[in-house]
Amino acid sequence: MKKLLILGAGTAGTMMANKMRKALSRNEWDITIVDQFKTHYYQPGFLFIPFGMYTKNDVIKPKNDFFPVGVNVIFSTINKINPEKNSVVLDDGVVLKYDQLLIATGTRTAPEETEGLTGKLWYKEIFDFYTIDGAVALASFFKTWKGGKLVVNIAELPYKCPVAPLEFVFFADAFFTERGMRDKVDITYVTPLPGAFTKPRATKMLGDLLEQKNINIVPDFNIMEVDNDNKKIIDYGGTEIPFDCLVSIPTNLGADVIETSGLGDDMNFVKTDKHTLQQVDYKNIFVIGDAANIPTSKAGSVAHFAAEIIEENMMCAIEGRELTASFDGHANCYIETGFGKGTLIDFNYDTEPLPGSFPFPGLGPFGLLKVTRTNHYGKLLFRWIYWHILLKGKEMPIDSEMQMAGKKL
């Protein structure tokens, strides 16, 4: 029997376990998936928790519900990958051999990377919302908050779900407006980017939205430390921004095992060929999702589009053929803009987010770079799609390759 080993059972790893169990013969291939946690989190839902729109129960399910029959599941931390020996060592010393390895170990928030971030105000007046604990703590803080300076700060690039901090400030604007206290809350968006987003058209559109909603933006801010005593954040250039409530998007790092195995860059993201999705030094290792250092968004949609490419290329590699699929960096993000509306962006390595309609040219139903009610329902509907279609590796009516049809240049 040959062995496919999948490290990580988040969105990407779970999807691939389902896809590869269908693609590979059960008589020839053993598939094993390893993860340290038993709970699967619907991470796009974390954003809704601080504003009381979702609770913890809306975003969690047992991981075991999503693995197909015929896949071995091991819950353990992963100690080391030995690519020279085609083996992986688990925490208890168990060694797993593999013929093909798929790394899907994701990214984690590392607030300890910023001085003072996890100081005495952590989870009292300083929160994150990229973890379930942070999102729940912030929800309870907002329930009784009397207002003041709300500062949302992105510590460092790259970070997962790049639109989430923008959605957070849009939701905050709507939340405090609906509670009749928007005039008591001063919202400031502080980012290391030169504007609201990276590419010109999306930056303009989202920057205009911030302005319309009376949200301040401080660009080019690289945080050095959080001063807990004087309640302010300070950047390397000396700029200081005071806060009453700080919502941080902490530094994102890849898994520790990537570092200890010598497979990563200086943020522990696996060095990956951006088109083939193979690890750059080892041909029998593929990398999917947030764990890869490819220059596109760290987001579930990217993992979803990459999954088809990896399935095809892994089959090529197994059968000794040349790799035929090439990833274009396709990402697709619904962006909540508050008050029951949303917008949508669709882009890849080479094409910036453009206005238009999606997925059907001229028809939509979703509008690209437009604020519509339908886009918001698209996002809400997505939670159902995620649990029932996406994780199970079933077909979706969206091409993995980004389409130009429906986009306006």
Partner 1 sequence: MSTKTIAGVEINVTEDGYMNDASQWSKEIAAEIAKEEGVELTDKHFELIDFIRNKVAAGEGLTLRGIGKSGVVNAKEFYQLFPGAPLKKATKIAGVPKPTSCI
Task: State the residues that interact with partner 1 by CB under 8 A.
Answer: 156-159, 162, 192-193, 197-198, 220, 222, 224, 236-238, 266-267, 295-298
Closer Cβ to partner 1, 295 or 320, answer by number:
295
Closer Cβ to partner 1, 151 or 163, answer by number:
163
CB of 222 to partner 1, least distance (A): 5
CB of 192 to partner 1, least distance (A): 8
Closer Cβ to partner 1, 132 or 224, answer by number:
224
Strands 2-7 and 29-35: parallel
- How many CB atoms are located within 10 Å of the residue 223 CB? 25
**For residue 404, what are the β-bridge partners?**
none
Three-state DSSP at 79 gives: strand
Closer Cβ to partner 1, 238 or 320, answer by number:
238
CB of 115 to partner 1, least distance (A): 11
CA dihedral 386, 388, 389, 391 (to 10 degrees): 60
CB of 258 to partner 1, least distance (A): 16
Closest among 224, 220, 108 to 160, alpha carbons compared: 108
CB of 86 to partner 1, least distance (A): 28
- How many CB atoms are located within 10 Å of the residue 220 CB? 13
Q: Which two tokens stand for residue 105?
A: 């170990």
Give, to the nearest 10 degrees, the angle between helix 300-318 and helix 11-23: 30
Helix/strand number for the chain, H first, E second: 7, 24
Closer Cβ to partner 1, 42 or 159, answer by number:
159
CB of 73 to partner 1, least distance (A): 33
CB of 109 to partner 1, least distance (A): 15
Closer Cβ to partner 1, 224 or 316, answer by number:
224
Backbone torsions φ then ψ of 356, nearest 5 degrees: 155, -155
Closer Cβ to partner 1, 142 or 159, answer by number:
159
Q: Which two tokens stand for residue 300?
A: 């579930």
- How many CB atoms are located within 10 Å of the residue 194 CB? 10
CA–chain centroid gap for 89, Å, is 27
CB of 297 to partner 1, least distance (A): 6
CB of 238 to partner 1, least distance (A): 8
The DSSP 8-state label assigned to residue 39 in this structure reads E
Distance CA 171, CA 50 (A): 10
Closer Cβ to partner 1, 127 or 197, answer by number:
197
**For residue 246, what are the β-bridge partners?**
126, 151
- Interior angle at CA 385, CA 383 and CA 391, nearest 5: 100
CA–chain centroid gap for 230, Å, is 32
Asked whether 327 and 320 are in contact (CB, 8 A), the reply is: no
Closer Cβ to partner 1, 37 or 236, answer by number:
236
User: How many Å is the maximal CA-CA distance in the chain?
Assistant: 66
